[in-house]
Structure 1
Amino acid sequence: MVAHVKICTGVLYFCEQCNFKTRHSYSFTRHKRKHTNQKPYACSDCDYKTIQLSTLKLHCAKYHSNESPRVTNINGKEKVRRRYICKEGRIKKEPQEYICEHCDYRGKNATALKNHVLTHTGERPYGCHLCNYRAAQASALANHAKRHTGVKPYACPYCSYRAAIVANLRLHIMVHR
């Protein structure tokens, strides 16, 4: 029953100091910093430090926005920062950022961000043709479809449990720890 609850809720990480829960290790690591007061992200222009990179970026935009992210003033001459120059010597276009407005997620493209946002809206546009299961992402539906085949190639090394999806086996193995 414990494994079933973990599979359904997706919760893997529990904070022992408060009631915070998450299924993402990066989110749990960031959360723990609140209790330890660890602030690994520091502003290069002042003494400001924070637990989150996105918060540092907001700080820089708010308090240091008069400084160009591309140009540095050296001895009265403006120099384009090296990371913005491509091999041919032209100024690179700044990479497009696909940032979720609900959390710290950053996608590699618009499609990845669109799929991620569905996790916040609750919309589930992909439906299984064999049962009433619906998913926010096509990959989740593809994983679900494996359950209908009856094939369970992933075996637990500690008991007779078998799974159609490797992620479910990983969740199950946590019961043994």
Structure 2
Amino acid sequence: TGEKPYACKLCDYRAGQLSALNTHLRKHTGEKPFACDSCDYRAGQLIQLKRHIRTHMGEKPFACGACDFRAGQLKDLKKHLKTHLDIKKPYNCNVCSYRASRINHLKTHLRTHTGEKPYTCKVCDYKAGQLTNLKTHMRTHTGEKPFACDKCSYRAALKSSLVQHMRTHDR
């Protein structure tokens, strides 16, 4: 049912099971009951210890699809994957570190630096740097609310507003 009756008294965290709350509480207490047999590493969760043990075993279950690189932890594979971005995103912003796969994406991004806003609302004086932002703005005039809550009759013009509203049902 998605019910989360167990609440942390130190933050807003809620859990569906008492064991999950107890695991969460270790973040606040700093308790690390899981110890490595090969070194002095300790972990707050069993999954963290299992990941650590891979460093001793040489186990590398995470493989790169673009080359023969393998990693013991997912975060290391994600870091490695960024080395392949140069091939997939050849268009570089000369102001910041943004990279794009298409020249049109870079041109749109550059407007964030230049302040250029070529899209103008025909109803008011609003201007936008991206066409999608103008389309979203137009909902303020049309009253369109395409994002509907599946738990009540609430509707929103912005997806972010619906996401924020959905949190009221989780309480």
| Shared fold (TM-score, shorter chain, > 0.5) | no
Scaled by the length of structure 1, what TM-score is found?
0.40
- Higher-Rg member (1/2): 2
User: Which one has a larger percent helix, Structure 1 or Structure 2?
Assistant: 2
TM-score of the two chains, using structure 2 as the length reference: 0.41
